[in-house]
Amino acid sequence: MATAFSAPKFAAQPFTTISPTSQHKPLKIPTAASPFLGSTRKLLRLSSSSQLNLRRRSSGSVFAVSDVVKEKKPTPIPSLLITKEEGLELYEDMVLGRSFEDMCAQMYYRGKMFGFVHLYNGQEAVSTGFIKLLKQQDSVVSTYRDHVHALSKGVPARAVMSELFGKTTGCCRGQGGSMHMFSSEHNLIGGFAFIGEGIPVATGAAFTSKYKREVLKEADCDHVTLAFFGDGTCNNGQFFECLNMAALWKLPIVFVVENNLWAIGMSHLRATSDPQIYKKGPAFGMPGVHVDGMDVLKVREVAKEAIARARRGEGPTLVECETYRFRGHSLADPDELRDPTEKAHYAARDPITALKKYLIENNLSGEAELKAIDKKIDELLEDAVEFADESPLPPRSQLLENVFADPKGFGIGPDGRYRCEDPKFTQGTAHV
Amino acid sequence: MAAIFQGVGAAATLSSSPSNSFVPKKFLTSPRRSFSVRKVPSYVVVRSDGSVNFDLNSKSRRAQQLVANAVATKADSSAASSSSNPGHELLLFEALREGLEEEMERDPRVCVMGEDVGHYGGSYKVTKDLAKKFGDLRVLDTPIAENSFTGMGIGAAMTGLRPVVEGMNMGFLLLAFNQISNNCGMLHYTSGGQFTIPIVIRGPGGVGRQLGAEHSQRLESYFQSIPGIQMVACSTPYNAKGLMKAAIRSENPVILFEHVLLYNLKERIPDEDYICNLEEAEMVRPGEHVTILTYSRMRYHVMQAAKTLVNKGYDPEVIDIRSLKPFDLYTIGNSVKKTHRVLIVEECMRTGGIGASLTAAITENFNDYLDAPIMCLSSQDVPTPYAGTLEEWTVVQPAQIVTAVEQLCR
């Protein structure tokens, strides 16, 4: 694979030994000698070898290797990992994600959307790499950086854009906003504003899948849930509690860590005692895998195995994707703390450029075809913006709808009737 | 302390005792009264001097047994007597279990999650033997991770199951506040109605027998502002079973508040299937002079006080509001319109409690019908002390209720 740089090792390395053949410069920070982490001060120099180095395992350390990777041997001729159709699908999905986020930035600065908007530029490989392997009935749980997860899962760009504009045609009727994308049709279970609070919900969705198979006897129910979250979340209690429960009950879930090294302005290294997140998987009894999150093909390989594992009923996997966000934490973030050299380093590893290069070099596609896809996405987004612009704002009558699934929950008014029967209720002017 | 007595003849001694403490011995052989009262054998509870003498025929740390059925003549329990078959007698925790079991049989999507609900049978035995019957996945023993397993229940509810999450003690649900507030209450709305969360969160709370501050919390006041949830409090075996079933069948997230000291109340309940409406209040004792609004354990203190009041010539109307959120303003309103005087008796804290909200709601809606300002008796704003005497003085005692009514009706 003549694509982006390889990610560092899968297996855990003891901190004290760094092989002399390594081309990694040890970091200045004493606690982490692991080579892959972006330092606040020092740029990481990755190995230019395109092979995953699996030989570097020392005895006695924790093995955090995915099963499929164990068997992989370095081959002299890179075999193609994807077909042309798959390649184009991946390319289109990533371009959609990127262009959509760029459009969001534009619209935000034009005053069409408000509040906190968190863009996903740079991390597309993770979303595309994982979600494109799922079926419709599989569930995805995300965080506030959820636009691209929604798009990858199949939510139409129109619905997402309208939701961002706060229009009633949005996927959540304008009631959720940027941080709360939901789609029952596509099984996107959010969209959560507080970090970590989606992970238990994802665990619950996985529990339902297991319940359906074992209690309700729907033997073919093998729905898998993916939980996406960031490096900051991995220091949160809910993360650990759910790792425990998922491994305990062998729930069909994959925990995907999008480690972009920064939680707003807090570097992952300054916040975490052991920054190698994938090592936390084996502590709970599940495999922990690290993968280069800027390379969609690598992500896809790991994802295949992790999802297959979950489908077979073997339990959860923790996948740490090393990735990077090209923009600030949100559109309100001036992004002053990050080192420009670090940004440049990752910009050079842009997943879309990398996939394009792969497709062309392996004769899976040509410039013209890819440009046509670019154009198609542009038109799709123009249409989405137009649709969102023209959609109506939610009327007042929508205010009190959907608070309860059963609106009797608003109670009985002084006149003896349920409040939801009051005509002012449906107009949204009733005071509940 | 010791608000729970054996025998209902407490009233006679109550009126003669000057302080809030009660003389124990007289109660053990109380005569029958007009309210249907059953002597529950082998429970001796009362003390006024802090000495404890109780028969722990339950092995858990559950507090002393509560006594007789202090439910008055009317109300839902009349359904029990009006049905042709005699019904069956059971304790409140058994009623909860029966309700839960029936719903689990009825709908295979109903499942239970919580600490020690499975093999241990529940720390208050509400889920006893359910795991044997329905399996370890349907009655799930969770690790000690309230926030996460409540969130897991919410995720399961969103994807098609109907979980009943048990908090071993309501206070532990403070750890789950994130999930209850952010997800349980809000997700139906934030998703534009796409996902329903038919979850029931239940557990015992309230001031028990010297359990200490953290095990004696009343969370209804903390949860009441969360939009999108309903809160109900059960107080008798009849309404416990009815509310449990109604909560499970409801599409809304419901928090069911039980009380540690009420689990051993005994009552005869109907054999047939019934539910109690989640939004309605219960008329316990109709009257003319004053409306006393209460819920959960304070209902029994109020009924205790009511006996004294009746002897003194007052006619209080006692309503168990049951639905803490939303309030049943119809039943309450009708009562206010009749009596023009309101006394709220609750175990919640004074500040920001259910009583405070109820006072506001009544004033807003029925101000014209009030002849006197609403009086609200709540627990002191104090972390519940361990010492028995101090604990007794933190919660409202029947004598205070009597005094309050006398003041209100002057």
∠ CA B221-B383-B391, rounded to 5°: 105
Is the Cβ pair A197, B179 closer than 8 Å? yes
Is A259 or B32 the better-scoring residue by pLDDT? Answer: A259
Radius of gyration of chain A from its Cα atoms, rounded to whole angstroms: 23
- Which residues on B lie below 8 Å from A199 (Cβ)? 148, 151
Is the Cβ pair A184, B194 closer than 8 Å? yes
> DSSP labels for B278-328?
TT--EEEE--SSEEEEE-TTHHHHHHHHHHHHHHTT--EEEEE--EEES--
Look at residue A431 in the predicted model and tell me its pLDDT.
67
Burial class, A50, CB count within 10 angstroms (exposed 0-12 / middle 13-18 / buried 19+)? middle
List B204's β-bridge partners, or say none: B258
Taking the C-alpha atoms of residue A217 and residue B149, their distance in angstroms, rounded to an integer, is 23
- Which residues on A lie below 8 Å from B152 (Cβ)? 200-201, 203-204, 207, 242, 245
Nearest CA in chain A to B108: A216
Tens-digit pLDDT profile for residues B47-98 = 444 444 444 444 434 433 333 333 333 334 444 444 567 899 999 999 999 9
Q: Does B201 touch chain A (CB under 8 A)?
A: no
Nearest CA in chain A to B186: A403
Is the Cβ pair B149, A200 closer than 8 Å? yes
Taking the C-alpha atoms of residue B61 and residue B212, their distance in angstroms, rounded to an integer, is 13
Taking the C-alpha atoms of residue B170 and residue B166, their distance in angstroms, rounded to an integer, is 9
Residue A406, number of CB atoms within 10 A of its CB = 16
CB B96 within 8 A of CB B241: yes
**pLDDT string in tens for chain A (432-residue length):** 444 433 344 433 333 333 344 444 443 333 334 334 333 333 333 333 333 343 444 444 444 555 444 445 554 555 788 899 999 999 999 999 999 999 999 999 999 999 999 999 999 999 999 999 999 999 999 999 999 999 999 999 999 999 999 999 999 999 999 999 999 999 999 899 999 999 999 999 999 999 999 999 887 889 999 999 999 999 999 999 999 999 999 999 999 999 999 999 899 999 999 999 999 999 999 999 999 999 999 999 999 999 999 999 999 999 999 999 999 999 988 888 899 999 999 999 999 999 999 999 999 999 999 999 999 999 999 999 999 999 999 999 899 888 999 999 999 999 999 988 888 877 777 766
Tens-digit pLDDT profile for residues B109-160 = 999 999 999 999 999 999 999 999 999 999 999 999 999 999 999 999 999 9
The sheet that has B282-285: what strands, in order across it?
B282-285, B316-320, B290-294, B342-349, B375-379
**Looking at chain B, how many residues does it have?**
410
CB B141 within 8 A of CB B169: no
Q: Does A30 touch chain B (CB under 8 A)?
A: no
Task: Give yes or no for residue B287 having a pLDDT over 80.
Answer: yes
CB B182 within 8 A of CB A194: yes
Look at residue B44 in the predicted model and tell me its pLDDT.
42
Is the Cβ pair B179, A410 closer than 8 Å? no
CB B287 within 8 A of CB B262: no
Look at residue B86 in the predicted model and tell me its pLDDT.
84
Is B9 or B181 the better-scoring residue by pLDDT? Answer: B181
Closest CA of chain B from A94, distance in Å: 25
SS3 (DSSP) at B397: coil
DSSP state, residue A397:
G
- Backbone torsions φ then ψ of A171, nearest 5 degrees: -65, -25
Burial class, B86, CB count within 10 angstroms (exposed 0-12 / middle 13-18 / buried 19+)? exposed
Is the Cβ pair B147, A237 closer than 8 Å? yes
Tens-digit pLDDT profile for residues B149-171 = 999 999 999 999 999 999 999 99
Residue B108, number of CB atoms within 10 A of its CB = 15
Nearest CA in chain A to B160: A208
Q: How many CB pairs under 8 A join A and B?
A: 192
Closest CA of chain A from B160, distance in Å: 7
List B269's β-bridge partners, or say none: B88
Is the Cβ pair A204, B152 closer than 8 Å? yes
Burial class, B39, CB count within 10 angstroms (exposed 0-12 / middle 13-18 / buried 19+)? middle
CB B376 within 8 A of CB B344: yes
The label of the residue with tokens 């005895």 reads A59
Look at residue A432 in the predicted model and tell me its pLDDT.
61
Q: Does A242 touch chain B (CB under 8 A)?
A: yes
Look at residue A73 in the predicted model and tell me its pLDDT.
53
Q: Does B368 touch chain A (CB under 8 A)?
A: no
Is the Cβ pair A173, B192 closer than 8 Å? yes
In this predicted complex, what is the ipTM?
A: 0.82
> DSSP labels for A70-85?
HH----SSPPP-S-HH
Closest CA of chain B from A268, distance in Å: 24
- Which residues on A lie below 8 Å from B142 (Cβ)? 245
Angle separating helix axes A296-312 and A351-361, nearest 10 degrees: 100
Look at residue A219 in the predicted model and tell me its pLDDT.
79
What would the two tokens of residue B109 be?
């999507």
Helix runs in B159-258, H state only: 177-178, 187-190, 220-223, 237-249
CA atoms within 13 A on the CB side of B249: 18
Is the Cβ pair B158, A205 closer than 8 Å? yes
Nearest CA in chain B to A416: B330
Look at residue B135 in the predicted model and tell me its pLDDT.
95
∠ CA B211-B213-B215, rounded to 5°: 55
Is the Cβ pair A414, B192 closer than 8 Å? no
Residue positions of B annotated with a catalytic role: 146, 215
For residues B290-329, one letter each, b for 16 or more C-beta atoms within 10 angstroms of the residue's C-beta and e for the rest, the string is bbbbbbbbbbbbbbbbbbbbeeeebebbbbbbbbbbbbbb
CB A258 within 8 A of CB A199: no
Taking the C-alpha atoms of residue B167 and residue B256, their distance in angstroms, rounded to an integer, is 10
- In this complex, the residue of A402, A411, A419 whose CB is nearest that of residue B188 is A402
Please compute the mean of the pLDDT values over residues B304-322 and round it to a whole number: 96
Taking the C-alpha atoms of residue A312 and residue B385, their distance in angstroms, rounded to an integer, is 53
Greatest CA separation for chain B: 61
Look at residue B262 in the predicted model and tell me its pLDDT.
96
Taking the C-alpha atoms of residue A185 and residue A169, their distance in angstroms, rounded to an integer, is 15
Which positions 389-428 of A are in contact with B (Cβ < 8 Å)? 401-406, 408-416, 418-419
- Backbone torsions φ then ψ of B153, nearest 5 degrees: -60, -40
> DSSP labels for B345-376?
EEEEESTT-HHHHHHHHHHHHHGGG-SSPPEE
Closest CA of chain B from A408, distance in Å: 8
Which pairing describes strands B342-349 and B290-294: parallel, antiparallel, or unpaired? Answer: parallel
Tens-digit pLDDT profile for residues B218-256 = 999 999 999 999 999 999 999 999 999 999 999 999 999
> DSSP labels for B82-95?
HSSS--EEEEHHHH
Which of these, A30, A38, A4, A22, lies nearest to A341 by C-alpha position?
Answer: A38
Taking the C-alpha atoms of residue B254 and residue B248, their distance in angstroms, rounded to an integer, is 8
- Which residues on A lie below 8 Å from B198 (Cβ)? 405
SS3 (DSSP) at A311: helix
CB A253 within 8 A of CB A29: no
Which of these, A183, A179, A177, lies nearest to A163 by C-alpha position?
Answer: A177
Residues 6+ apart with CB under 8 A from A59: none
Taking the C-alpha atoms of residue A402 and residue A418, their distance in angstroms, rounded to an integer, is 16
Cα B138 versus chain centre, distance: 26
- In this complex, the residue of A172, A200, A216 whose CB is nearest that of residue B148 is A200
* pTM of the full structure: 0.81
Taking the C-alpha atoms of residue A57 and residue B173, their distance in angstroms, rounded to an integer, is 44
What would the two tokens of residue A167 be?
């229009």
CB B237 within 8 A of CB B269: yes
Look at residue A220 in the predicted model and tell me its pLDDT.
81
- Which residues on B lie below 8 Å from A201 (Cβ)? 151-152, 154-155, 158, 183
Share of chain B above pLDDT 70, in %: 80
DSSP state, residue A51:
S
Taking the C-alpha atoms of residue A36 and residue A411, their distance in angstroms, rounded to an integer, is 57
Distances (CA, A) of B376 to A362, B304, B389: 79, 18, 22
Q: Dihedral of CA A406/A412/A415/A416: which sign?
A: positive
What would the two tokens of residue B273 be?
């299937």
CB B366 within 8 A of CB B336: yes
- In this complex, the residue of B108, B161, B326 whose CB is nearest that of residue A208 is B161
